[in-house]
Amino acid sequence: STVHTTPVGTLITVAPTGAEHAKADVPNLPVTLDELVRTARDCEAVGAGMIHVHIRDADTRPTLDLGLLKETVAALRAETGLVVQLSTGGAVTDHERDRLRVLDAMPDSASCTMGTVNFGDDVFMNRWEFIVELHERMRERGIVPEYEIFDLGQLASLRRLLDRHGPPAGGHVHVDLVMGVPGGMPGDTETLVAALRLLPEGASFSATGVGRTAIPVMLAALSAGGHLRVGMEDTLSYARGERVKDNAQLVARAAGLARIAQRPPLPAADVRELLGVRA
């Protein structure tokens, strides 16, 4: 049976932007490179160790433009110590070739979603062969994957991937449970506990709850020895009737809860060690 040891600290990942919210509806969403870098610095100052990045074009629309992605990776490396994770999920409308090309920006880490899932009224497509290609290309380049899990069957797919294609770059398996997406697994304690049973041996995990599942998922993850992802990609409401002020507000709350749990936020150097990201 799988033994999960409780880590001494908490990795807090900030996912500041995402591909779903429109700047017109959410004016405080960071969409320019300047806004993103400022957000990253503010979040690092209050406890973030990694940033999960989606970028926008000059019209504030989601883009996978390689030049902009490279510029973004360089700026985040220059201005912060955060582990830089690029999304290969993109937006539900993005094509596989564009999502694979994200890896050419050579981030420290990249997301790799472990299956197709209904995503609100849309479908987030992740064919098996595409997943294998992401996994292999990341290994060739030494980019550490974060396996994104939207539903429990995707953990079985992860075990199948590792059995058939071997361990990822860095040798360590890290999983992020994205809970509460309409069409995916619910964001509650019972489901999180069920997910733990299916984690590959030795894997670490973080969890994030979309929308109003943010707080229950955060508390469940902390109590189960997991790490945290927070940010405006997933949550725009801070409390009932109160909008999120900025990403740092969400990171600060997560950091406070992690300290109460006696597992304070891990600084970026420790996050690199945990995930097997090259220094």
Residues that bind ligand KMH (CB under 6 A): 18-19, 87-89, 91-92, 111, 113, 119, 124, 148
Using the minimum distance from each CB to ligand KMH, give the nearer residue, 150 or 257. Answer: 150
| Structural tokens at position 40 | 């990253």
Strands (DSSP E) found in 89-143? 109-113, 117-119, 122-124
Q: Among positive and negative, which fits the CA dihedral 268, 274, 275, 277?
A: positive
Q: How far is the CB of 16 from Zn ion (least distance, A)?
A: 10
Q: What is the DSSP letter of 82?
A: -
What's the number of CA atoms in the CB half-sphere (13 Å) around residue 243? 7
16 contact, one of Zn ion, ligand KMH, none, CB 5-8 Å limit per kind: none
What is the nearest approach in angstroms of ligand KMH to the Cβ of residue 112?
A: 7
Please identify the residue of the shown chain whose CB is closest to the bound ligand KMH. 89
Looking at the Cβ atoms of 130 and 263, the one nearer to Zn ion is 130
Q: Are 217 and 180 in contact (CB under 8 A)?
A: yes
Q: Which residue number places its CB atom closest to Zn ion? A: 87
Q: Which residue carries 């050579």 as its tokens?
A: 106
Query: How many chain residues bind Zn ion (CB under 5 A)?
Result: 1
- Beta-carbon-side half-sphere exposure of residue 147 (alpha carbons within 13 Å): 30
- 72 lies in the site for Zn ion, by CB under 5 A: no
Task: Give whichever of 90 and 263 is closer to Zn ion, judged by the CB atom.
Answer: 90
The two structure tokens encoding residue 150: 């939207």
Strand partners, 251: none
Q: How far is the CB of 151 from ligand KMH (least distance, A)?
A: 13
- CB nearer to ligand KMH: give 80 or 113: 113
Give the residues across from 212 on adjacent strands: none
**For Zn ion, the closer CB: 145 or 263:** 145
Question: Least distance in Å: CB of 239 to Zn ion?
Answer: 23
Q: Nearer to Zn ion by C-beta: 87 or 235? A: 87
Residue 92 contact partner, candidates ligand KMH, Zn ion, none, CB within 5 to 8 A by sort of partner: ligand KMH
243 CB neighbour count, 10 Å cutoff: 11
263 or 271: whose CB is closer to Zn ion?
271
Contact between 87 and Zn ion per CB under 5 A:
yes
Rounded Cα gap, residues 33 and 246, in angstroms: 16
CB of 17 to Zn ion, least distance (A): 8
- Give bridge partners of residue 145 from the DSSP assignment: 110
What is the nearest approach in angstroms of Zn ion to the Cβ of residue 176?
Answer: 9
Q: Where are the beta strands (DSSP E) in the chain?
A: 12-14, 50-53, 55-56, 62-63, 83-86, 109-113, 117-119, 122-124, 144-149, 174-179, 204-209, 227-230, 237-239, 242-243
Smallest separation (angstroms) from ligand KMH to the CB of 119: 6
| Residue span binding Zn ion (CB under 5 A) among the ranges 80-88, 97-105, 211-219, 245-253 | 80-88
- Chain residues binding Zn ion by CB under 5 A are 87
